[in-house]
Amino acid sequence: MATVTIDKLRKVFPTATGGHVAIDDVSFEIADRQFTSLVGPSGCGKTTLLNIVSGVECPSAGEVSIDAEGHQARIGYVFQEPRLLPWRSILDNMLYVQRTRDDATVERCRNYLELVGLRGAEDKYPAQLSGGMQQRAGIARAFSVEPDLLLMDEPFSHLDAITARSLRAHLQELWLETRKTVMFVTHDVMEAVELSDEIVVLAPGGRLHELIPVTLERPRRASDVAVARLKADILGRFEQLEQQKMVTQ
């Protein structure tokens, strides 16, 4: 498991016209086994932040530290698109990202595929599966490396509403069973309220706007009244934020 500490993080992208500030002095913490969502409109640096946490990109200033109880943190990543190797079977795709290739690993991969409802699809190629099934495979792949930290970048945004709802339920189940530390990026406040323990709101320009704890009981359903009420409250605050933005622009 892992704790993530983000301290005065700053990321500037060089452009022809000077520089684009993607992340502007952001600090917050994600506790062990906590499900945290990053929410904000496009251009507020959510994906960049995720890339920095995963190590794919370097910050311009500040620090990200992942404390995984002594060892190097193992990271799982779920993307907007499934990003499966199209010329390998689903099982081979799972094995591609594993550390070892022994029988125990293969068994573990099969188990995770079963958990997302893809038993029987191990030997199929990605093109033979629907979009929702491919994304489920992507989620299984991320869980199957048994990560200390799970990073998810708008994993349901490219799916139709019905499939997305079903996958969200799958994800909650999986998470409740395994209790990973999760950093979940989304532009959908509803999704964030349904899934997270804490919502980090980023504003355009990469600033941290506010941190909203979500203490509703789990398992949560979208149809719960408490969930709906909280959603409305937060949406209200977003609308205020947008009003302010329009006034000052």
Of 175-214, binders to another protein (CB under 8 A) are 204-207
Contact flag: residue 120 with another protein (CB under 8 A): no
Total residues binding another protein (CB under 8 A): 36
> How near is the Cβ of 182 to another protein at its closest, in Å?
15
> How near is the Cβ of 39 to another protein at its closest, in Å?
18
Nearer to another protein, 12 or 222 (CB): 12
Other CB atoms within 10 Å distance of the CB of residue 219 = 10
Of 26-45, binders to another protein (CB under 8 A) are none
Q: Please name which of 228, 201, 229 lies closest in space to residue 213, comparing C-alpha atoms.
A: 201
Contact flag: residue 8 with another protein (CB under 8 A): no
Contact flag: residue 47 with another protein (CB under 8 A): no
Contact flag: residue 131 with another protein (CB under 8 A): no
- Residue range at the interface with another protein (CB under 8 A); choices 81-89, 158-166, 178-186, 217-225: 81-89
> How near is the Cβ of 190 to another protein at its closest, in Å?
26
- Residue range at the interface with another protein (CB under 8 A); choices 29-37, 89-97, 185-193, 229-237: 89-97
The distance of Cα 144 from the centroid of its chain, to the nearest Å, equals 15
Nearer to another protein, 33 or 207 (CB): 207
Contact flag: residue 20 with another protein (CB under 8 A): yes
Binder of another protein out of 63, 85, 111, 229 (CB under 8 A): 85
Contact flag: residue 151 with another protein (CB under 8 A): yes
**Could you tell me if 207 and 10 are in contact, meaning their C-beta atoms sit under 8 angstroms apart?**
no
Contact flag: residue 116 with another protein (CB under 8 A): no
**Could you tell me if 186 and 38 are in contact, meaning their C-beta atoms sit under 8 angstroms apart?**
yes
Q: Which residues bind another protein (CB under 8 A)?
A: 12, 14, 18-21, 24, 54-56, 60-61, 75-77, 79, 81, 83, 85-88, 92, 96-97, 125, 127, 145, 151, 204-207, 245, 248-249
